């Protein structure tokens, strides 16, 4: 798509939106809203068709690495720190090594002070091992003269127990160790080109070509040492030590070493692009194409099932109005996918979970509007008048709840990386598009069906009787119950200890093996295969912990937890022996250092999110309401991790994303209740503040109990149909939605009343003063409400 076309089309849509917001004439608003909806949806669908969605490595297969640059010694042996220039040099070298022809979809980006993120979508399983080698091989090339009497000198030094001042013993690839000079005679940085070829006599050989200065220095070195051996050293090992029969002024040299073709070609590429700093892989996620394809299929069925469940629920409760809400959700999803395609955001498996959650949250706004609509019609208003009033009164609650959720999503986007960032992106775009779907699309459809006489009355199914319950009198019982559950949650974390945390926080590796349907690998066979295994450096793989997980939309999944270095060896062994049984694999590895950093960043992110939400609430509401909301929020967020551990999960970065989402959802419910409490007080109802609060809570009870199932329905689908990655996200969200619904009724409001009584605060006076100030000086939000947006 042309950038100019996209810009102009987007500018036109923005202009239509501004005119739509500014107009009060219903016919013009209906036409503008229809035009805006049709054009925005058409652009989204066109973008999806022309550009397509960019899939993450967990959906299309490939590898993601985070590598850490290690300090290297200078010429005098002193350790040098890693500087930004070293990062850029490493990125440039890795680009040449991993993508020499520029044909691969390769992403290289700095991460922090000394780390680099490498993403390689579409890398085949056979290429992954070679990629690891290309990344970790420093390829420090040096030329050092070999001692004339190397063997005898080494024996003499060992016998006397002394060390040579000018020479050092080095392992040789061709035979016994050699004694070479302690300092390089020529550095490998002068190599301008390196390639491998098959020599009929010597086998696979690597040719090195020097630049002009290197050729001159190499010529002088060989001329001065004719008759001696020249050690060609790569990463501290002598690969070959040819005799210098004559001076070599051609500007080239060769390395032999009984190479296989693959080794020779890989080493040639690396020697042409040597690194100045060694690198270590501190995190890895490699997914086979088959595993990714299976994840896509599961994601499709989960999204469809979630949408069907939500549709059935809305049709049962709201009839035709429910169908209008579903149309709004479909437009919302079109805009979500179109936005991701337009800006080339990557769709990941957590992103699919975010889309499923968006379906539930999009319905939430519609339920809020419909419950308002039902109340206004019960008060004797016509359908058209009730509709205008419902959208006007619901606007502030919808805006406040979405803003607080956006705060959490934005912080998650800022602190996360890789797959979790995909969830944050879909959540942010989904929230924005869901507001458009609920506040514009459904309203325009209502305008048309009322204008044409298709809808004359709103028929709904009532699930809560229209009466006032004394909910606040039961508060002590519920608070005690919450304290008990909180104690159980923390107890689970204490008892489990470090095992509560997954590899994201304490390091290690986990290999997911998806089996073909109807296939199985016995535990005894798995033990017999893995126990004798060794890693690439010959060490035992250590302890491993297999766990079987059911998969409703495919074969079962075996998750094998192990030490960091053991992950690739376990994957390779299982695929080699059980290739007819295995559908696909995924390997995730996290180093201890990056796990520790992730834990610190996650704690900071949660605290910043909670503080940001609290500050917004303080600015938007009276202090008593802000305090009650934030305490209820802590109640929900602190309970979830322990309960997830109690149900057998290990805490990961996905749980942090879930907690931030729960924070947004929980505050969403609480804001709706608080908005109604403030509105009831502003209307000057009879009775004390306790009675008014009970009345307001009961008026929102139907909405609160309806939005819970609409948000839970897609999560239940994830729980029963999703793969292990989706389950890891769905369980905390399910628990969080239940807790959020509960706390908004039984925790937040009682705390507001308790605080007011304890401090002698007059909630009635504070609310009325705020209302008076807003009436005299309306803000932007009020102007939007008045315009009917």
What's the pLDDT tens digit per position in 488-504? 999 999 998 888 888 88
**Better-predicted residue by pLDDT, 566 or 783:** 566
* Residues 765, 689 contacting (CB under 8 angstroms): no
**How many of the other CB atoms lie within 10 Å of CB of 643?**
21
Over range 14-22, report the average pLDDT: 90
In this model, does residue 721 exceed pLDDT 90?
no
Please state whether beta strands 178-181 and 72-73 pair in parallel, antiparallel, or not at all (unpaired).
unpaired
In this model, does residue 640 exceed pLDDT 90?
yes
Question: Which of 324, 312, 316 lies closest to 365 in space, CA to CA?
Answer: 324
**How many of the other CB atoms lie within 10 Å of CB of 454?**
10
Phi, psi of 663 (to 5 degrees): -60, -45
Residue that the structure tokens 């062994």 belong to: 573
Question: What is the percent of the chain with per-residue pLDDT over 70, rounded to a whole number?
Answer: 93
How much is the pLDDT for 74? 58
Please state whether beta strands 191-199 and 203-210 pair in parallel, antiparallel, or not at all (unpaired).
antiparallel
What's the CA gap between 428 and 577, in Å, rounded?
A: 44
- Residue 345: pLDDT band (50, 70, 90) is confident
Q: Which two tokens stand for residue 299?
A: 């994601």
What's the CA gap between 335 and 443, in Å, rounded?
A: 17
How much is the pLDDT for 208? 83
Over range 606-626, report the average pLDDT: 83
Phi, psi of 681 (to 5 degrees): -65, -40
Burial annotation 742-775 (CB, 10 A radius, 16+ → b, else e):
bbbbbbbbbbbbbbbeeeeeebbebbeeeeeeee
H and E: helices and strands count for the chain: 27, 21
What's the CA gap between 473 and 486, in Å, rounded?
A: 22
Most confident of 326-330, 503-507, 662-666: 326-330
What's the CA gap between 236 and 238, in Å, rounded?
A: 7
What's the CA gap between 115 and 658, in Å, rounded?
A: 26
- Residue 36: pLDDT band (50, 70, 90) is very high
In this model, does residue 744 exceed pLDDT 50?
yes
The 10s digit of each residue's pLDDT in 239-252 is 888 888 788 888 88
Question: Which of 669, 676, 655, 692 lies closest to 742 in space, CA to CA?
Answer: 669
How much is the pLDDT for 98? 82
* Residues 370, 325 contacting (CB under 8 angstroms): yes
Could you say which DSSP state residue 56 is in? Answer: P
- Residue 775: pLDDT band (50, 70, 90) is low
Mean pLDDT of the chain: 83
How much is the pLDDT for 167? 87
- Residue 73: pLDDT band (50, 70, 90) is low
**H or E element in which residue 229 lies:** none
Burial annotation 357-386 (CB, 10 A radius, 16+ → b, else e):
bbbbbbbbbbbbbbbbbbbbbeeebebeeb
What's the CA gap between 446 and 103, in Å, rounded?
A: 51
3 state DSSP class of 700 = coil
How much is the pLDDT for 393? 82
First to last CA, the chain: 31
Give CA angle at 694 (693, 697), nearest 5°. 85
> In DSSP terms, which residues pair with 587 in a beta bridge?
286, 511
Q: What is the length of the chain?
A: 789
The 10s digit of each residue's pLDDT in 446-476 is 999 988 888 888 787 777 777 788 888 888 8
* Residues 687, 766 contacting (CB under 8 angstroms): no
DSSP for 638-667, written as a single string: HHHHHHHHHTT--B-HHHHHHHHHHHHHHH
How much is the pLDDT for 455? 83
Over range 151-155, report the average pLDDT: 86
Question: Which of 43, 54, 4 lies closest to 338 in space, CA to CA?
Answer: 43
What's the CA gap between 210 and 203, in Å, rounded?
A: 22
The 10s digit of each residue's pLDDT in 406-422 is 887 888 787 766 666 77
In this model, does residue 1 exceed pLDDT 70?
no
**H or E element in which residue 349 lies:** helix 349-378
What's the CA gap between 511 and 354, in Å, rounded?
A: 24
- Which of 763-771's residues contact partners 24+ apart within 8 Å by CB, and which partners? 763/622, 763/624, 763/681, 763/689, 764/681, 764/689, 766/622, 766/624, 767/622, 767/678, 767/681, 767/682, 768/681, 768/682, 770/622, 770/678, 771/678, 771/682
The 10s digit of each residue's pLDDT in 225-242 is 988 998 888 878 888 888
Question: Which of 153, 158, 160, 216 lies closest to 181 in space, CA to CA?
Answer: 153
In this model, does residue 97 exceed pLDDT 50?
yes
Burial of 347 (0-12, 13-18, 19+ CB in 10 A): buried
Over range 210-215, report the average pLDDT: 89
**Better-predicted residue by pLDDT, 376 or 103:** 376
How much is the pLDDT for 554? 66
Question: Which of 165, 191, 160 lies closest to 179 in space, CA to CA?
Answer: 165
Over range 106-127, report the average pLDDT: 82
* Residues 654, 728 contacting (CB under 8 angstroms): yes
What's the CA gap between 262 and 516, in Å, rounded?
A: 32
Chain centroid offset of residue 272 CA: 35
**How many of the other CB atoms lie within 10 Å of CB of 585?**
22
């Amino acid at each position: 798509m042309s950038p100019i076309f996209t810009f102009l089309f987007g500018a036109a849509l923005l202009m239509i939106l501004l005119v739509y917001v500014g107009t009060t004439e219903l016919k013009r608003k209906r036409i503008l809203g229809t035009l805006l909806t049709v054009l925005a949806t058409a652009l989204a669908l066109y973008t999806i068709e022309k550009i397509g969605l960019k899939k993450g490595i967990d959906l299309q297969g490939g590898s993601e690495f985070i590598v850490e640059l290690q300090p290297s010694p200078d010429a005098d042996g002193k350790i040098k720190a890693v500087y930004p220039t070293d990062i850029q040099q490493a990125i440039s070298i890795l680009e040449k090594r991993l993508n020499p022809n520029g044909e691969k979809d390769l992403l290289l980006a700095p991460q922090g002070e000394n780390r680099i993120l490498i993403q390689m979508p579409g890398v085949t399983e056979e290429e992954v091992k070679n990629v690891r080698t290309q990344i970790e091989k420093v390829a420090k090339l040096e030329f050092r003269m070999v001692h004339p009497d190397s063997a005898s000198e080494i024996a003499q030094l060992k016998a006397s127990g002394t060390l040579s001042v000018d020479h050092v013993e080095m392992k040789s690839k061709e035979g016994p160790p050699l004694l070479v000079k302690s300092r390089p005679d020529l550095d490998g940085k002068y190599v301008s080109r390196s390639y491998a070829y098959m020599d009929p006599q010597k086998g696979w050989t690597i040719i090195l070509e020097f630049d002009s200065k290197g050729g001159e220095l190499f010529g002088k070195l060989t001329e001065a040492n004719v008759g001696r051996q020249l050690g060609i050293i790569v990463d501290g090992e002598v690969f070959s030590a040819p005799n210098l029969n004559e001076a070599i002024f051609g500007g080239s040299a060769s390395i032999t070493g009984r190479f296989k073709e693959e080794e020779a070609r890989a080493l040639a590429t690396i020697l042409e692009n040597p690194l100045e700093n060694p690198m270590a892989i501190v995190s890895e996620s490699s997914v086979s194409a088959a595993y990714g394809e299976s994840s896509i299929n599961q994601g499709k069925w989960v999204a469809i099932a979630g949408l069907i469940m939500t549709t059935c629920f809305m049709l049962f409760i709201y009839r035709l109005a429910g169908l209008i809400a579903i149309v709004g959700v479909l437009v919302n999803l079109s805009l979500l996918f179109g936005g991701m395609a337009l800006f080339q955001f990557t769709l990941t498996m957590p992103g699919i979970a975010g889309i499923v959650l968006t379906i539930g949250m999009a319905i939430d706004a519609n339920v809020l509007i419909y419950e308002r609509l039902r109340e206004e019609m019960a008060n004797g208003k016509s359908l058209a008048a009730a509709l205008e009033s419902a959208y006007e009164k619901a606007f502030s609650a919808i805006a406040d709840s979405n803003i607080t959720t956006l705060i959490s999503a934005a912080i998650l986007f800022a602190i996360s990386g890789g797959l979790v960032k995909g969830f944050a992106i879909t959540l942010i775009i989904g929230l924005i598009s869901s507001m458009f779907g609920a506040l514009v699309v459904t309203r325009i459809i209502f305008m048309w069906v009322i204008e044409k006489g298709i809808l004359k009355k709103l028929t709904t199914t009532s699930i809560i009787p229209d009466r006032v319950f004394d909910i606040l009198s039961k508060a002590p019982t519920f608070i005690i119950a919450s304290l008990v559950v909180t104690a159980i949650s923390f107890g689970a974390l204490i008892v489990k200890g470090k095992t509560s945390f997954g590899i994201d926080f304490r390091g290690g590796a986990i290999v997911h093996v998806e089996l073909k349907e109807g296939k199985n690998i016995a535990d005894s066979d798995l033990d017999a295969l893995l126990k004798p295994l060794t890693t690439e450096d010959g060490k035992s793989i250590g302890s491993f912990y297999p766990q079987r997980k059911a998969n409703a939309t495919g074969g079962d999944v075996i998750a094998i937890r192990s030490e960091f270095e053991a992950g690739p060896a376990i994957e390779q062994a299982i695929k080699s022996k059980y290739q007819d049984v295995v559908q696909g694999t995924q390997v995730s590895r996290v180093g201890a250092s990056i796990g520790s950093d992730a834990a610190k960043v996650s704690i900071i992110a949660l605290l910043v999110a909670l503080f940001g939400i609290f500050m917004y609430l303080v600015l938007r509401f009276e202090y008593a309401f802000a305090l009650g909301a934030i305490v209820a929020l802590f109640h929900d967020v602190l309970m979830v991790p322990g309960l997830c551990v109690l149900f057998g999960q290990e805490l990961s970065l996905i749980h942090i994303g879930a907690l931030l989402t729960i924070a947004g959802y929980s505050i969403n419910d609480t804001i709706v209740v608080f908005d109604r409490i403030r509105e009831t007080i502003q209307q000057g109802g009879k009775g004390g503040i306790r009675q008014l609060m009970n009345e307001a809570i009961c008026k929102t009870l139907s909405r609160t109990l309806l939005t819970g199932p609409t948000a839970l329905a897609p999560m239940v689908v994830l729980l029963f149909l999703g793969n292990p990655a989706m389950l890891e996200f769905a369980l905390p969200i399910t628990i969080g939605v239940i807790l959020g619904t509960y706390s908004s009724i039984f925790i937040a409001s009682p705390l507001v009343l308790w605080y007011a009584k304890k401090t002698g605060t007059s909630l009635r006076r504070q609310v009325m003063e705020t209302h008076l100030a807003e009436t005299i000086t309306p803000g932007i939000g009020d102007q939007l409400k008045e315009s009917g947006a």
